[in-house]
Structure 1
Amino acid sequence: MFKATKQLAAVAALVLTGATATADELRIGTASLGGAFYPMGQSISNLVNEYAGDGISMVPVVTGGSVQNPRLIDSGEVEIAITNNNLAVLATKGVGPYKTGPIEIAAVAALHPSVLHMIVLDGSDIQTIEDLKGKRVAVGPAGGGTLGFMNFLLPLHDMSLEDMTPSFLSYSDGFSQLADGNVDAAFALSGYPAGAAMQAAAGNKLRFISFSNGMLDKALEANSAFQAVEIPADVYGTEAPGTVIGVNNMLIAPSSMDADIVEKITAAIFDHLDELKAENANAKQIDPAMSTQLAIPLHEGAARYFNK
């Protein structure tokens, strides 16, 4: 078993409060509570603290998520972070959400895929994305990957956020509001099973929102970084499986980060991948071979590890 991490409350308060890490403590940017990034960051931190050696330690911090994390690396607020393939490419090019300029990041490793959970309570009249017009929708935190995905999908349906009443909530709060009937639908870009959706499913029958005819194919044609993913019905106890859109995730670091440190972090994770998989359900979906097929180049330290 892993050594215990620092108390969750202290960790959650680190980001966006001006707190800084000690010289030998690396902060890993994750996302809001209730998704998959925070538990993954926590499990990675446990491995690094146990096996990286040379005084290298890591602590997970709550952030806005995959869109914000490259910016946090750029500003020095975190030293390593999780994002997805599509956003990593946009960040290195300085386009999309990163129009202030290119961000000098490199890939450390491939992680689990994230999928866009589009969930309503069973019995809702919302069947497809088009039915969200006029509805109250939890869209994840501002700056998170969920909102980025929605801003990609909605225009394909000739829609925008203005067609609904959006609530910018953490995944935990969004799905709690869904369970309480305070929103009509909840969205979350997360690995599965997502803690927030599991919590909502514990006391409620859930259902996936579907893509209307041809719309998923249209989305996949518009961006080749995305993929169709089927979430089995037994994951959240739904009546039927959900066909959703997803993207692969990666661990990123500043291109300038010391290569020896990156190599030790990578070794701490992938030399003990069985431990990671035992601790974290999403880690079971990690394929080490994918780390040499990422959308941006590997950091020198990670390349040393994967190419040896």
Structure 2
Amino acid sequence: MYMRKKVKKSLNIGTGSIIGIYYPIGSTICRLLAQDSDKGKVMCSVASTTGGAYNINSMRNDDFDIGIAQSDWEYIVYHGGEVLKLKPMHDLRLLFSMHKAYLTLVARKGSNINTINGIKGRRINIGAQELEPEA
């Protein structure tokens, strides 16, 4: 999870799909912050999004204060990316790491896919499309 340097009295958190893990994590953070909101501390809202790249773009545009994203995107966006032509975003800060993102591949029996290299040139389904961060 990543956060911009400047924090306001209200926070907007970009998460992910409501059926994924990012949304409940963002919602829990808002609930914890809401426990102190009656003391004038922080009001919080959570938004379901398409994921990390959208959240980073929204933080770049000051639409979100906090965005949940994978650590590889944080590194690329913080330093800038030659391949994606991204400007560095040096005010990006890591709040905490949540979990490792493992990859599981499942192939139909008889597909002759036995290693990661076996998918080369094959038609595969990798789930919902996530857009890349904007420059």
Q: Same fold (TM over 0.5)?
A: yes
Q: Structure 1 residues 124 and 68, CA, compared in 2 at 3 Å: closer, same or farther?
A: farther
TM-score, structure 1 as length reference:
0.34
The answer on whether the counterparts of 1:70 and 1:103 sit within 8 Å (CA) in structure 2 is no
1:134 aligns with 2:119: no
Show the counterpart of 2:36.
51
Contact 1:28 1:59 in 2 (8 A): yes
1:71 Cα deviation from its structure 2 partner: 1.7
Q: 1:97 to 1:124 in 2, by over 3 A?
A: farther
Answer yes or no: is the 8 Å Cα contact 2:77–2:86 preserved in 1: no
How much has 1:78 moved relative to structure 2?
1.0
Mark the structure with the bigger radius of gyration: 1
Q: Distance in 1 between matches of 2:31 and 2:96?
A: 18
SS in 2 for 1:59: strand
Does residue 79 in structure 1 map to residue 65 in structure 2? Answer: yes
Report the Cα distance in structure 1 between the residues aligned to 2:84 and 2:77, rounded to whole angstroms.
6
1:58 to partner: Cα distance: 1.3
- Which whole-Å CA distance do the structure 2 matches of 1:39 and 1:85 have between them? 19
The aligned counterpart of 1:89 is 75
Q: Percent identity over the alignment?
A: 19
Q: Which amino acid aligns with 1:62?
A: S
Higher normalized strand content (fraction of residues): 1
Q: For 1:9-67, what per-residue CA distance to the aligned partner results, in whole angstroms no more than 9, with x for missing partners?
A: xxxxxxxxxxxxxx854210112233221111111111111135425121221223223
Report the equivalent of 2:85.
99
Specify the alignment match of 1:35 in structure 2.
20
Once residues 98 and 57 of structure 1 are traced to their aligned partners in structure 2, the CA distance between those partners, rounded to angstroms, is 34
C-alpha separation between the residues in 2 aligned to 1:102 and 1:112? 23
Residue type of the partner of 2:104? M
- 1:31–1:63 contact (8 Å) kept in structure 2: yes
1:121 to partner: Cα distance: 6.5
User: What is the total number of aligned residue pairs between the two structures?
Assistant: 123
The AA in structure 2 aligned to 1:89 is Y
Amino acid at match of 1:114: K
Tell me the CA shift for residue 96 of structure 1.
4.9
Equivalent in the alignment of 1:174: none
- Which runs of 5 or more structure 2 residues have no equivalent in the other structure? 1-7
CA 1:26 to 1:124, structure 2 compared with 1: closer, same or farther past 3 Å? farther
CA deviations 1:139-188 (Å, max 9, x no partner) are 4322279xxxxxxxxxxxxxxxxxxxxxxxxxxxxxxxxxxxxxxxxxxx
CA–CA separation in structure 2 for the residues paired with 1:38 and 1:109: 16
Conserved? CA contact 1:31–1:144, under 8 Å? no
1:98 is displaced (CA, Å) by 5.6
C-alpha displacement of 1:117: 3.0
- Which is bigger in relative contact order (C-alpha 8 A, separation at least 6)? 2
C-alpha RMSD of matched pairs (Å)? 2.9
Q: 1:142 to 1:106 in 2, by over 3 A?
A: closer
Distance apart, 1:85 and its partner CA: 2.9
> TM-score normalised to the size of structure 2?
0.70
The whole-number CA distance in structure 2 between the counterparts of 1:59 and 1:130 is 43
What is the CA deviation profile of residues 211-237 of structure 1, one whole-angstrom value per residue up to 9, with x for unaligned ones? xxxxxxxxxxxxxxxxxxxxxxxxxxx
Structure showing the higher helix proportion among its residues: 1
